[in-house]
Amino acid sequence: MTDFTILGKKAKEAARILAAQDTKKKNEALLSMAASLRAHVDEILSANEKDVKAALEKGTSEAMIDRLRLTKERILSISADMEKIVDLPDPVGEVIEKFDRPNGLHIEKVRVPMGVIGMIYESRPNVTADAAALCIKTANAVILKGGSDAIHSNIAICEALREGLSRAGLPMDGVQLVTETDRAATLALMRLRGYVDLLIPRGGAGLIRYTVENATVPVIETGTGNCHIYIDKDADIEKGVSIIVNAKAQRPGVCNAAETLLVHEDIAENFLPKAAEALQNAGVKLLGCERTREIIEAEEADEEAYRTEFLDYILAIRVVPSTDEALSHIAKYSTLHSEAIVTENEDTAEYFLRRVDAAAVYVNASTRFTDGGEFGFGAEIGISTQKLHARGPMGLREMTAYQYRIRGCGQTR
Amino acid sequence: MTDFTILGKKAKEAARILAAQDTKKKNEALLSMAASLRAHVDEILSANEKDVKAALEKGTSEAMIDRLRLTKERILSISADMEKIVDLPDPVGEVIEKFDRPNGLHIEKVRVPMGVIGMIYESRPNVTADAAALCIKTANAVILKGGSDAIHSNIAICEALREGLSRAGLPMDGVQLVTETDRAATLALMRLRGYVDLLIPRGGAGLIRYTVENATVPVIETGTGNCHIYIDKDADIEKGVSIIVNAKAQRPGVCNAAETLLVHEDIAENFLPKAAEALQNAGVKLLGCERTREIIEAEEADEEAYRTEFLDYILAIRVVPSTDEALSHIAKYSTLHSEAIVTENEDTAEYFLRRVDAAAVYVNASTRFTDGGEFGFGAEIGISTQKLHARGPMGLREMTAYQYRIRGCGQTR
Same domain, B157 and B276: no
Task: Give yes or no for residue B398 having a pLDDT over 80.
Answer: yes
Q: Count the domains in chain B.
A: 2
- pLDDT confidence of residue B223: 81
Task: Give yes or no for residue B30 having a pLDDT over 90.
Answer: yes
> Nearest 5°: CA angle at B336, between B335 and B338?
105
> A384 in a domain, yes or no?
no
What is the C-alpha separation between A235 and A41, in angstroms, rounded? 52
Q: Tell me how far CA of residue B171 lies from CA of A212, B12, B140, in angstroms.
A: 31, 11, 12
What range does the domain containing B351 cover? Answer: 227-369
CB contact under 8 A, A212 and B220: no
Percent of chain A with pLDDT over 90: 93
CB contact under 8 A, B365 and A216: no
Q: Tell me how far CA of residue A323 lies from CA of A93, A233, A243, B15, in angstroms.
A: 45, 9, 18, 19
- Partner A, chain B 122-181, Cβ-Cβ below 8 Å: none
| CATH code for position A13 | 3.40.605.10
Same domain, B172 and B255: no
ipTM value, please give it: 0.95
Helix (H) or strand (E) holding B72: helix B72-84
CB contact under 8 A, A197 and B386: yes
Helix/strand/coil (H/E/C) assignment for every residue in chain A: CCCHHHHHHHHHHHHHHHHCCCHHHHHHHHHHHHHHHHHCHHHHHHHHHHHHHHHHHCCCCHHHHHHHCCCHHHHHHHHHHHHHHHCCCCCCCCEEEEEECCCCCEEEEEEEECCEEEEEECCCCHHHHHHHHHHHHCCCEEEEECCHHHHHHHHHHHHHHHHHHHHCCCCHHHEEECCCCCHHHHHHHHCCCCCCCEEEEECCHHHHHHHHHHCCCCECCECCCCEEEEECCCCCHHHHHHHHHHHHHCCCCCCCCEEEEEEEHHHHHHHHHHHHHHHHHCCCEEEECHHHHHHCCCEECCHHHHHCCCCCCEEEEEEECCHHHHHHHHHHHCCCCEEEEECCCHHHHHHHHHHCCCCEEEEEECHHHCCCCCCCCCCCCEEECCCCCCCEEECCHHHEEEEEEEEEEEECC
* A394 Cβ under 8 Å from any chain B Cβ: no
- pLDDT confidence of residue B6: 97
> B313 in a domain, yes or no?
yes
* B242 Cβ under 8 Å from any chain A Cβ: yes
Q: What is the band of B124 on the pLDDT scale with cuts at 50, 70, 90?
A: confident
For B259-280, write each residue's pLDDT tens digit.
999 999 999 999 999 999 999 9
Same domain, B29 and B178: yes
Percent of chain A with pLDDT over 70: 100
Nearest-CA distance from A56 to chain B in Å? 34
Same domain, A241 and A211: no
Same domain, B82 and B203: yes
* A313 Cβ under 8 Å from any chain B Cβ: no
Q: What is the band of B1 on the pLDDT scale with cuts at 50, 70, 90?
A: confident
Nearest-CA distance from B297 to chain A in Å? 26
**Which chain B residue has the Cα nearest residue A245?**
B412
Q: What is the band of B203 on the pLDDT scale with cuts at 50, 70, 90?
A: confident
Same domain, B41 and B190: yes
- pLDDT confidence of residue A204: 84
- pLDDT confidence of residue B278: 98
Residues of B in contact with A11 (CB under 8 A): none
- pLDDT confidence of residue A288: 98
For A288-344, write each residue's pLDDT tens digit.
999 999 999 999 999 999 999 999 999 999 999 999 999 999 999 999 999 999 999
Q: Give the mean model confidence (pLDDT) for residues B195-218.
A: 93
What is the C-alpha separation between B9 and B401, in angstroms, rounded? 20
- Partner A, chain B 314-343, Cβ-Cβ below 8 Å: 331
> A82 in a domain, yes or no?
yes
What is the C-alpha separation between B333 and B89, in angstroms, rounded? 37
Same domain, A133 and A60: yes
**Which chain B residue has the Cα nearest residue A96?**
B96
For B137-182, write each residue's pLDDT tens digit.
999 999 999 999 999 999 999 999 999 999 999 999 999 999 998 8
> B74 in a domain, yes or no?
yes
Task: Give yes or no for residue A123 having a pLDDT over 80.
Answer: no
Q: Give the mean model confidence (pLDDT) for residues B367-373.
A: 96
* A403 Cβ under 8 Å from any chain B Cβ: yes
For A161-182, write each residue's pLDDT tens digit.
999 999 999 999 999 999 998 8
CB contact under 8 A, B239 and A409: yes
- Partner B, chain A 190-219, Cβ-Cβ below 8 Å: 193, 197-198, 212-213, 216, 218-219
Q: Tell me how far CA of residue A78 lies from CA of A67, A101, A133, A209, in angstroms.
A: 14, 48, 10, 29
Residue pair A380/A218 in contact (Cβ under 8 Å)? The answer is no
| CATH code for position B266 | 3.40.309.10
CB contact under 8 A, B412 and A99: no
- pLDDT confidence of residue A181: 86
CB contact under 8 A, A412 and B212: no
Same domain, B395 and B301: no
Nearest-CA distance from A174 to chain B in Å? 17
- Cβ burial of B214 (10 Å; 0-12, 13-18, 19+) is middle
DSSP-based three-state secondary structure for B350: helix
pTM of the model: 0.94
Same domain, A131 and A205: yes
> A375 in a domain, yes or no?
no
Same domain, A184 and A235: no
Averaged pLDDT of chain A: 96
For A52-105, write each residue's pLDDT tens digit.
999 999 998 888 898 899 999 999 999 999 999 999 999 999 999 999 999 999
Q: Give the mean model confidence (pLDDT) for residues B5-32.
A: 97
- Partner A, chain B 59-78, Cβ-Cβ below 8 Å: none
Q: Give the mean model confidence (pLDDT) for residues B93-117.
A: 98
* A369 Cβ under 8 Å from any chain B Cβ: yes
> B384 in a domain, yes or no?
no
- Spatial neighbors of B70 by CB under 8 A, at least 6 apart, are B44, B45, B48, B125, B126, B153
The per-residue DSSP string of B105-135 comes to -EEEEEEEE-SEEEEEE-S-THHHHHHHHHH
> B291 in a domain, yes or no?
yes
For residue B257, the 8-state DSSP code is S
CB contact under 8 A, A364 and B411: yes
- pLDDT confidence of residue B2: 84
* A5 Cβ under 8 Å from any chain B Cβ: no
**Which chain A residue has the Cα nearest residue B210?**
A216
Task: Give yes or no for residue A256 having a pLDDT over 90.
Answer: yes
**Which chain B residue has the Cα nearest residue A191?**
B213
- pLDDT confidence of residue B122: 84
CB contact under 8 A, A107 and B375: yes
For B291-348, write each residue's pLDDT tens digit.
999 999 999 999 999 999 999 999 999 999 999 999 999 999 999 999 999 999 999 9
> A413 in a domain, yes or no?
no
Q: What is the band of A232 on the pLDDT scale with cuts at 50, 70, 90?
A: very high
* Tally of CB atoms within 10 A around B383: 27
Task: Give yes or no for residue A276 having a pLDDT over 80.
Answer: yes
* B41 Cβ under 8 Å from any chain A Cβ: no
Same domain, A15 and A105: yes
Same domain, A240 and A106: no
